[in-house]
């Protein structure tokens, strides 16, 4: 039994001035104890609060992972003090997940190392190719100079041919170097794009939106290399992903609302189910990230690579499977009806998520700074 502070002699609540007959105020719930505490009491009180929070936290996490929909049903039935509140749970898991994803470095497993080695070899080949192209330009120019010295061609022709060769080769190198095309078109710079848009015939000009998007993308290409664009794109995408999920949750709850009895289920009920389901998905991603980080350091051993592969496969399958028993248990429908609804909702949500992610990807790309 925990140590309790002595009650105040004054029976007037310090918080709301209501008369307190026993330990707790019947009006606001505040404990009517002495406000001046000893260090021992503060230590014991802190330990009790921490233990209570940990018990509720681990109980919540256990049910969230292993008992689909149990948290939602318990919450709506009125049992709320034994678990973390849905909004607090989602915010906490979301913060920890995206924080650790940003902080924990990506391990280079055996596949990753092989990919990196292949990338280095490709870059080395490209470097050698560029050197060969430059040497070819030099050799061909020397041939033209020799012809000029022998009097076979004039100085003017020699200069023109050399310039043509150099420009042609540089254009080839530029084309090979370009990693992105904007709406199927390539531009050397934003100045070239602006010039084409300004002086081209009306029939060949880009539309207002197409020109705006192309110019935004060209500004990014002019400022960064392909590798830098990819790095900044991934960084910005991960940064905006929590916002996209937060925006999508009301839509997910709305889809659930469309498929259920409107008199029996309120939108609030679907919102609670959605918060718990998305908390599960984020927590699963967090576990996968931690597992990948730990086993990534042991990837040189075949045994741990196999364990890593099995764990990831089982986790991904479970993440897809989880929704169906959760939906069935929460809405208490016949299993076949719940499965059919679940499949239809899965495809609706899949297309919705793809659309949002595409929009997010475009927004991320044109706003790279």
How many CB atoms lie under 10 A from the CB of residue 159? 12
* Separation of alpha carbons 84 and 99, rounded Å: 20
pTM: 0.63
| Burial bucket for residue 283 (CB in 10 Å: 0-12, 13-18, 19+) | buried
pLDDT of residue 280: 95
Tokens encoding 57: 């936290």
pLDDT of residue 114: 42
In the predicted model, residues of the chain with pLDDT beneath 70 are 1-5, 34-54, 106-144, 147-148, 151-153, 156-158, 161-187, 224-226, 228-229, 236-238, 365-369
* Separation of alpha carbons 60 and 70, rounded Å: 10
Q: What is the DSSP letter of 33?
A: B
pLDDT of residue 268: 93
pLDDT of residue 176: 44
How many CB atoms lie under 10 A from the CB of residue 280? 24
pLDDT of residue 231: 72
Q: Which residues contact 60 (CB under 8 A, 6 or more apart)?
A: 71, 83, 84, 89
How far is residue 247 from each of residues 87, 250, 251, 275, measured CA to CA in Å? 14, 7, 8, 12
pLDDT of residue 10: 79
Kindly report the CA angle at 356 between 242 and 232, in degrees rounded to 5? 60
The DSSP line for 122-155 is: HHHHHHHHHHHHHHHHHHHHHHHHHHHHTTSS-H
Q: Which residues contact 194 (CB under 8 A, 6 or more apart)?
A: 215
pLDDT of residue 318: 95
């Amino acid at each position: 039994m925990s140590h309790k502070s002595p009650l105040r002699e004054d029976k007037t609540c310090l918080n709301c001035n209501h008369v307190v007959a026993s330990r707790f105020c019947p009006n606001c719930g505040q404990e009517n104890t002495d406000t001046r505490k000893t260090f021992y009491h503060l230590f014991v009180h802190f330990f009790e609060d921490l233990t209570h929070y940990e018990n509720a936290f681990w109980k919540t996490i256990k049910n969230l992972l292993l008992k689909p929909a149990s948290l939602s049903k318990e919450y709506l039935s009125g049992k709320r003090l034994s678990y973390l509140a849905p909004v607090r749970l989602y915010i906490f898991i979301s913060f920890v997940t995206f924080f650790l994803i940003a902080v924990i470095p990506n391990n280079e497993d055996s596949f990753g190392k092989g990919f990196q080695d292949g990338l280095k070899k490709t870059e080395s080949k490209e470097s050698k190719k560029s050197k060969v192209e430059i040497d070819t330009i030099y050799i061909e120019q020397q041939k033209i100079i020799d012809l000029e010295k022998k009097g076979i061609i004039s100085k003017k022709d020699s200069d023109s041919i050399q310039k043509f060769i150099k420009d042609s080769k540089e254009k080839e190198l530029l084309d090979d170097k370009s990693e992105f095309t904007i709406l199927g078109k390539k531009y050397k710079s934003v100045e070239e794009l602006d010039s084409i848009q300004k002086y081209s015939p009306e029939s060949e000009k880009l539309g207002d939106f197409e020109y705006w998007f192309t110019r935004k993308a060209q500004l990014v290409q002019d400022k960064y290399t392909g590798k830098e664009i990819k790095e900044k794109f991934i960084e910005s995408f991960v940064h905006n992903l929590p916002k996209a999920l937060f925006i999508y949750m009301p839509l997910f709850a709305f889809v659930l609302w469309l498929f259920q009895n409107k008199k029996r289920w309120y939108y609030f009920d679907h919102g609670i189910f959605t918060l718990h389901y998305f908390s599960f998905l984020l927590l699963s991603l967090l576990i996968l990230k931690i597992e990948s980080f730990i086993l990534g350091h042991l990837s040189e051993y075949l045994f741990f690579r196999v364990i890593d592969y099995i764990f990831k496969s089982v986790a991904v399958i479970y993440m897809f499977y989880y929704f169906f028993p959760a939906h069935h248990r929460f809405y208490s429908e016949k299993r076949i009806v719940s499965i059919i609804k679940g499949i239809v909702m899965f495809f609706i949500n899949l297309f919705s998520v793809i659309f949002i992610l595409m929009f997010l990807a475009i927004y991320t790309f044109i706003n790279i700074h």
